Amino acid sequence: MKKLKLLFIVYITALIIDLPSGFAATLGDQNLEQAKQNTSAFTRFFSAETLLNLVFAVVVMILSIVIARIVSAKLTSFLERNGSEGGGSEEMAGMLSRTVNITFLFIGGSASLSILGVDLGIFMGGIGFGLGFTLKTFLTNFVGGITMVTQGFYHNGDLVEVRGKKGKIVKINSLFTSMEQLDGVIFYIPNVIFMEEVISNFKTNDKRRTEIELLVDYDTDIVKTKKTILKVIESFPNILNAPHPDILVDKLDNSGIKLLIRFWMHTDDDYIQLKSNVTETLNLACKQSAIKIPYPHMTLVQKEKIS
């Protein structure tokens, strides 16, 4: 019995002594296998075929950029030489140039990724999802800008009124239009607003009608007053003879007779300055012709006190 116990102890001791070496051997085999796998992956990544595809993808992308610039330059030059009589060639050239650049870069990027083995199906699916939700406003404004230019509704320099703001269009960009108010303040409006709302464009027509109100006394000779006003209007060369100026009796007001003076001017002329000059000259002519311009007044009737 003692001999069996002794043999068992010797066996366990030998097993414990041999365990670290076996465990180390197992770990060594695992590390060696992992190293082989990493080396294999590294070798595959930097293989001749992969490096060739990488170089080819870079070349395709560079060619796409070069072609985009050449086509954009040619297109811009063509549109500037053959701009329509209605204008808009500058805006059209800029808009189409950016569109061509984006298109060629997208095609070149897709081709480069395909050469590198990237699954474009998943990539295009993600882009479609993003365009459908995240880029909805971007695409709407971009299409709105193209429509503005191609249809010729608006051009740089046009005087327009948008949402109560009146100013000149400075530049029609891809996503927004910059405008300058009459007081010099610059503001930006998304292009989609020009497509969805009613916009007043004061330069669509080459002439514009101006109105001035004049209040005269009830004792005034209307015929004489109309002749005086007509002489003042005819003294300004910027006022058009056709359509003919109109002088109308607009309203019998509390303080006097309200006359409405209408005349036409060129759209390119300074509207505010011309109206101011005509009004000032009318005031001087009325004083020289003894035409009374009434002012609001009130008569108070006070009851007498009974003592």
| H/E segment holding residue 225 | helix 222-234
> Average pLDDT per run of 10 along the chain, which is 307 residues long?
52 49 48 55 57 77 82 72 52 67 77 71 61 64 73 79 84 82 83 81 76 88 90 87 87 86 80 86 88 76 65
Residues 6 or more apart from 93 whose CB is under 8 A from it? 75, 76, 79, 80
| Model pTM score | 0.47
Q: In the prediction, which pLDDT does 112 show?
A: 75
Q: Is the dihedral of CA 48, 51, 56, 57 positive or negative?
A: positive
Q: In the prediction, which pLDDT does 24 show?
A: 43
Residue by residue, what is the 3-state secondary structure of 51-79?
HHHHHHHHHHHHHHHHHHHHHHHHHHHHH
Residues 6 or more apart from 54 whose CB is under 8 A from it? 116
Q: How far is CA 248 from CA 20, 197, 214, 221, in A?
A: 115, 34, 10, 14
Q: Is the dihedral of CA 63, 67, 70, 76 positive or negative?
A: negative
Q: Which of the 8 DSSP states describes residue 239?
A: B
Q: In the prediction, which pLDDT does 295 show?
A: 75
Residue 145 contacts residue 169 (beta carbons within 8 Å): no
Q: In the prediction, which pLDDT does 167 show?
A: 83
